[in-house]
Structure 1
């Protein structure tokens, strides 16, 4: 089964007598030197994906925006996890040997708290073996501490009815639906348009991004009615796609942005920068920033 992921960020420069907030200023400054580089799943090539350790590694590398994936536990807690099951990224098979296929929604938050998220072979001896699965609330606290922006992917929303409402409730409880966070530090994205339209019906001020591997011109026009960003797969991103997107305006009156995923080589980063994309996600955002002369 092909596992898809997506991420987004924004490039915004506002001329005003009012100073920009720190995170917004950082984003605008990056825009002047090329695409914004967003840490994919935190920074999944530098530390175990979708963990606080990955977010911190992105922060230490000077990465101002991170993308993460959110799902819901059996008892209604929102946690960071990409796959529908826990087997690839945790030691669930060892801790719960009789619970196959280890679906995220079949476990309580307390049960997930027993798992380690850095047990795969790639992290052996890395010092990250004890990394845990964080809750969305824990992530938001860490991002506030680091002054980082969030690209929040609603993952597998069909598995979790009402999950967009739950996400908005946590964001609100943690203070992330105030003007500063909504304007400068938050995007919500998904492969499922219905999930994004649900968010828009509840909070039309939140900026949204639709993930589509290779959108057609007709789809771009449809997406611009509710999304601010289109996130295509990087190999299918062409000059024609970028130009068509930039010719359209999203619901907040700005040109539709193009932020491909997931870019992990210098040649990919330079090609996309030459096409004029507004940002992209990367598992190794430190290397991509260096390739673009941003770090």
Structure 2
């Protein structure tokens, strides 16, 4: 994407800086942090918090297809993305890791053993960690046969291929940076690929992309590099620590088993890093009773392997 001539090396460095600061960070209401975003964590409370009550949420929780519609197709494959699309779901979630040669691929586990035939293809390479294989090696693996014969031949997609498919389908992406401690610098790599594939323009950043991680430092890094990008922290920080998280994230995304309505209300009383109300996406809700319970707590999003079950449960 950058000029290759040594004579314009300085211009190339400028292009990198532009990608990470981004035109979207300069343009449009969704990209401009409000005064509260510059006032420090203790001051990041909305008008509703000062009035002693949480603001109203949207009428329905967002339903997000976990690793694609992974209850009906092999997780994190293009088949799972397409199934979510056929079922009518805009939002899909995925997991991103880095290969030995620096390619970003969409896979959940630290190893490839559970969801591919890597043990048969590379029997001497235990424990088959993602980061120990090249992208070309991973591209040869069957990532669907474990789920059922119908899916044999599905591949582990690169992040680029995954973005192309989500774009083709007109979908939106909740991207999880997986195990960032194993992949130093993966935040910058992820943003680079997103930018090169057109996912850091104004419309994508405002309406079609959220980047999340279990690693607080990883979420901080994404926010520092691209403060216009919506971020999410996977976990359930103590209520007393929520203001410090609000300094660098826009979503608090806990497991549904630990969630309460009181906790959701506390999150909603704060403004996030971009000056808008913090939201709650809970995971992984796979049955109607759990979906209704989460909905009753007032969550903003429900992440699920079975988006059709959740949709039917919450209306």
Structures share a fold, TM > 0.5?
yes
2:226 to 198, 203, 214: 203
Q: Name stretches of at least 5 consecutive residues in structure 2 with no aligned partner.
A: 1-56
Counterpart pick for 1:82 among 108, 133, 146:
108
Contact kept in structure 1, 2:58 and 2:300, CA below 8 Å: no
Output the CA distance in 2 between the equivalents of 1:253 and 1:48. Answer: 37
Matches within 5 A, 1:92-103: 92-103=118-129
Judge conservation of contact 2:223–2:249 (CA < 8 Å) in 1.
no
Segments ≥4 residues shifted beyond 4 Å: none
Of structures 1 and 2, the larger Rg is shown by: 2
Name the SS for the 1:115 alignment partner: coil
Q: CA deviation at 1:292?
A: 1.7
Determine the structure 2 residue equivalent to 1:110: 136
In structure 1, the residue matched to 2:253 is 231
Count of residue correspondences? 259
Q: Secondary structure at the match of 2:151?
A: coil
TM-score calculated relative to the size of structure 2: 0.80
d(CA) in 2 for partners of 1:208, 1:275: 22
SS in 2 for 1:259: strand
User: What is the RMSD computed on CA atoms of the aligned residues?
Assistant: 1.1
Of 270, 283, 292 in structure 2, the residue corresponding to residue 270 of structure 1 is: 292
Q: Secondary structure at the match of 2:295?
A: helix
**Runs of at least 5 residues in structure 1 that lack an aligned partner in the other structure:** 1-30
2:193 maps to 1:170: yes
Residue 94 of structure 2 is aligned with which of 68, 83, 98? Answer: 68
The two structures have a TM-score, normalised by structure 1, of: 0.86
Q: Are residue 140 (structure 1) and residue 144 (structure 2) matched?
A: no
Kept in 2: contact 1:58–1:286 (CA 8 A): no
Q: Distance in 1 between matches of 2:85 and 2:176?
A: 19
Q: 1:19 corresponds to which residue?
A: none
